[in-house]
Amino acid sequence: MDRFRRPFIIPTVIESNRISRIVVAAVAAGVILLLGGCGPAARVDLFQPQLAGLQAHLHIQSERAFWSSDERVERMLVEFPPPGASTGHPLFFLLYLRWPAGQNKPEVGGNQGPAVRGFLIQTRGRFAGLAQVVDGTLKVHRPFGAPETRRRFVFDLHCEDGSRLVGTVVTEHDDAVLKVFETRRRPADVANLGPAAATSTAPADAS
C-alpha cells in the first residue's frame, strides 16, 4: 500500500513548500512597496514645448525629495540630477513648492484664497533659469500605513515659460534641508513668491 501513497505524498509536501515560499515573497514585496523602498522617490515627466529636440520631453527622477511643515505652511523640495540618473551631482533641476498647512488639494496659482506657490529651476546648461508655477493641480496625502513623516504628492503643474511637470513624489520630513534651501541657497527666489498663504486646519488624509 505504501508504494502507492509515496508518489502522492512527496509532491504534495513539495508543492506546499513552494506555495509557502511564494506567499512569503509576496508579503515581503508588499512590505517593501508600503515602506516606499522600491524605486526613486520622485518620477516626473518634464514637458518643454518651447524647446526643441530631446529637451522637449525629459524623464527626470530623484532620490532626494523632502517635505517640511509648521503651523502655517508646508513645503516640498525635490533635487534632480541630470536626466537618466536618480542620484549624484551636479543637481540639474530644483522643484520647490509651498502651500497652506493642512491642505490636501490646494489651489495652484489661484488669485484668491490659499494657493500653491513655487518654481522650477534648471541650474545649468544653455537653458538654465527659473520659471514660477502658475497653474495645475496638486494632491497631498500620507500613504496608507506610512509613518506621519512621509507624504505622497501627485501633481500636474504648469510654469510661466510653458513648461509642464507631471509626476509623483514620495518625501520624507526634513525641516533642516528646507530651511537651508529657503534661507541660504535660494532666499531671493523664495522671497519672490510673496508671503506665505494663510493656514488651513484640514488634516492630510491617509489613503
Total residues found in the chain within this entry = 207
Residue in this structure with the C-alpha cell 532620490, named with its chain if needed = 63
What per-residue string of b and e applies to 55-69 under the rule 16 or more CB within 10 Å gives b? eeebebbbbbbbbbb
What does the block give as the cell for 87? Answer: 542620484
Start-to-end CA distance of the chain, whole Å, equals: 57
Rounded distance between C-alpha atoms, residue 87 and residue 66, angstroms: 14
**Torsion, Cα of 25, 26, 28, 34 (10° steps):** 160
Q: pLDDT by residue for the chain (207 residues), tens digit each?
A: 555 444 544 445 445 555 455 443 443 434 433 444 456 789 999 999 998 888 899 999 999 999 998 888 999 999 999 888 888 788 899 999 999 988 889 999 766 556 899 999 999 888 899 999 999 999 998 887 777 778 999 999 999 999 999 999 999 999 999 999 999 999 999 999 988 765 444 445 554
pTM over 0.85: no
**How much is the CA Rg of the chain, to the nearest whole Å?**
23
CA dist., res. 107 & res. 113, Å (int): 8
Domain ranges of the chain: 1-34, 42-191
